Every structure is written in C-alpha cells, then in structure tokens.
Structure 1
C-alpha cells in the first residue's frame, strides 16, 4: 500500500518525541485527488483530530493515519526522508494521486472528460479560462461550454479548432467533431475581447 522508508519513520519519530503529546501520529490525505491540482497533505494528528474512518498503518513508534477517501489515490505512495548537505527533505511520491486515465474500454464520455480535465483545462488556465463538457453525442460530437477568460474571448474559435478539437480528435478515439455551445456575447471578463482589444 504505502512504503515509508526507515529514514522517514525516524524523522517522524524525532518530531513526535519533540512534541511530547501521547498518542500523536501522522495523518496523510490527498487533496483535490484525481485532478491536475492534486497534492498531498501531511500533518501531525492526535486521536481527537481523527474522523474515525482513517486507515491505520503501524510504524515503529507512531501510527500513520491515511484518510479513507484518499486510499485509492495514495496506493503505492512512497515517503522518504533524504539527508542533504543543507539539511533534510521529506519526499512524497504518489503516482496515482492525479487519478488514472480511463482505459480504452471506458465510455467515450469518461475518456473525453478525463482529457478535458487533465490536458485541456490546465492549458486554458494559463489564460484564466476553462471548458466544461456539456454533451457527447452518440456519433462522437463533443459540445463544450467555455468559461472564465475563454467566455467571450476573441480567440475562442481558434482555441477550439486549433487546440481543443485537435487534442480530442488525436487523444480520444471515437470523437468525430467538437462544437462550441457558449453564448460568447455574455462573457464578463474575456482574455481577449471580441472586438480585438484586451
């Protein structure tokens, strides 16, 4: 499940002993799990801080509590403590934290949503924008709704045809076309205004 190196366990023991609180342990949780923003939160915890559904991993001298909802995303995670010239550094590697791409056998909708959330939206976020999947038709047409800086942007058509559609056609077998379902005239804060001014 989770591999905690001896050096990481020794590091935690030392910090817990310094706190001198009986029963104190370490709690690990995945934040924004399954998304491109996924990260881990590691904190000291006492019994009264626990929700009651955590998984307990007995380590030498303390317990590591794993947030129950985080279990699938932290499976195979490694926690290590590397000593360096300038001090030490805790390293956590969780290869499944951002989720796993759906298999080719997954529905077209699942594969489209995954690609939008993990490949397209992180790119659009650079311009304060995003897209949401509104519909995927039986014949593979994807309808998207632009939001944020993309809603009303003068470059939305180029973004759709040269970026989003190319990505979906290439990465998701079964997609036949991508269409924009957005009323761009209602955009409040476009990245590039439709009249060409920023």
Structure 2
C-alpha cells in the first residue's frame, strides 16, 4: 500500500522544496512520544538513505523507513486550511486511539 499525499499536500510540499532550493522529497516516520505512545515525524529529505522505501504521490517522493512503515502503511497525508489554521492532517487507517491534544496515537 505505502503512504500517499493528497493533491493539496503534494502542492504544498513542492512549493516548499522550491523555496528551499533543494530537496528530493518528504520523509515521514514515527517516533515514540506523547501520551498515546507514538508521534509522526516529518522532514524534507535531501538524500535517499539506503533503507528508505520510496513512494511517489502526485510527483512528490515520499520516503519511509522500514521500521515506521507498519504503523503508517495506507496513510494519506493531507494539507488543510480550517479558518486561520492550516497544516498537515494524517489520515492513518492503523490508528486505534489518539490523545486529546492530537499529538500522538496508538496502533
């Protein structure tokens, strides 16, 4: 399955990489954190690491490390604006529970 971006998220990532002037894509993973156990980590990738699993979505390369993939496989990353707030929204079918603040999750 892999990890995908919506068209809005891909456009946002492309624009940001263009402003940065460098980058090959977006690296998505998970780390142990928060009150529910896991949190997402996002960073712009400048190089392809040996163990990266690449997925293409609307012309953007999404890189995932093999240890994170079981927790986010099938996830869609969206970029939304709601009123004055805007940001990435993680649509992860593996999440069983999330903390009230929305910063961490359980699978």
TM-score under structure 1 length normalisation = 0.43
Structure of higher CA gyration radius: 1
- What is the Cα deviation at residue 51 of structure 1? 3.4
RCO higher in structure (CA 8 A, sep ≥6) = 2
Distance in 1 of aligned mates of 2:21 and 2:58: 16
- Number of matched pairs: 95
Q: List 4+ stretches of structure 1 deviating above 6 A.
A: none
Q: Partner residue of 1:28?
A: 28
Which of the residues 67, 73, 76 maps onto 1:78? 76
Two-structure CA RMSD over aligned residues (Å):
2.2
TM-score under structure 2 length normalisation = 0.75
Flag structure 2 segments of 5+ consecutive residues without an equivalent: 96-105
- What is the Cα deviation at residue 45 of structure 1? 1.3
Distance in 2 of aligned mates of 1:61 and 1:19: 17
CA shift digits 1:28-76 (9 cap, x unpaired): 011129x9311110111111xx431111012334311011111111012
- What is the Cα deviation at residue 87 of structure 1? 4.9
Q: Partner residue of 2:39?
A: 39
Q: Partner residue of 1:52?
A: 50
- What is the Cα deviation at residue 80 of structure 1? 0.6
- What is the correspondence of 1:96-115 to structure 2 with a 5 Å cutoff? 96=94, 98-99=106-107
- The 8 Å contact of residues 26 and 42 in structure 2, kept in 1 or not, is answered as yes
Flag structure 1 segments of 5+ consecutive residues without an equivalent: 100-198
Distance in 2 of aligned mates of 1:17 and 1:87: 23
Between Structure 1 and Structure 2, the one with more helix by share is 1
